[in-house]
Amino acid sequence: MSDDDAEKMFPLLQSDQLNAEDKMQYMAMVYKSAYTRNMLHEIDYLHKNAQKVQAEGIPLDTPMYFFISEGSDVDAPGWREILTDYVLNNKTGKYKHLDCGHYLHHYQAELITNEASAFIKGLL
């Protein structure tokens, strides 16, 4: 993977939040965890698992909180609408639209932490 490709895929590398050494360690962790046998196995079953979920329906009683990016860096028309509609069919479903890219955990980490914690506490 070229440096340009890595920066497109992992926006944190474009930020000033990591120094050069941290960026190298970040990429080492990506390579170590992203291309494991389990990860590749999961990719092999992605389509089959999606069909199973579609056939069995939305688990209406499973609490879900979706943090949904604005979708500009995702090649999927209707990104927000599809995810929003999905979670709204859930009895305890909740969502929050965030005006940032797909790697929203890099852009909105504190907000996601606070919102997720409050959501979980509300379930107890």
Q: Is the pLDDT of residue 44 over 80?
A: yes
Same domain, 67 and 106: yes
Same domain, 52 and 62: no
Helices (H), 1-124: 3-9, 20-34, 37-44, 46-56, 79-88, 104-107, 109-123
Same domain, 48 and 23: yes
| pTM exceeding the 0.75 threshold for the entire prediction | no
Chain centroid to Cα 78, Å, comes to: 16
Same domain, 64 and 95: yes
Instruction: Look up the domain containing 124 and give its range.
Output: 58-124
Chain centroid to Cα 31, Å, comes to: 18
Find the mean pLDDT for residues 73-94: 85
Same domain, 18 and 36: yes
Find the mean pLDDT for residues 95-99: 93
What is the number of structural domains in the chain? 2
Q: Is the pLDDT of residue 119 over 70?
A: yes
Same domain, 100 and 122: yes
Same domain, 32 and 14: yes
Same domain, 74 and 84: yes
Contact 10, 26 (CB under 8 A): yes
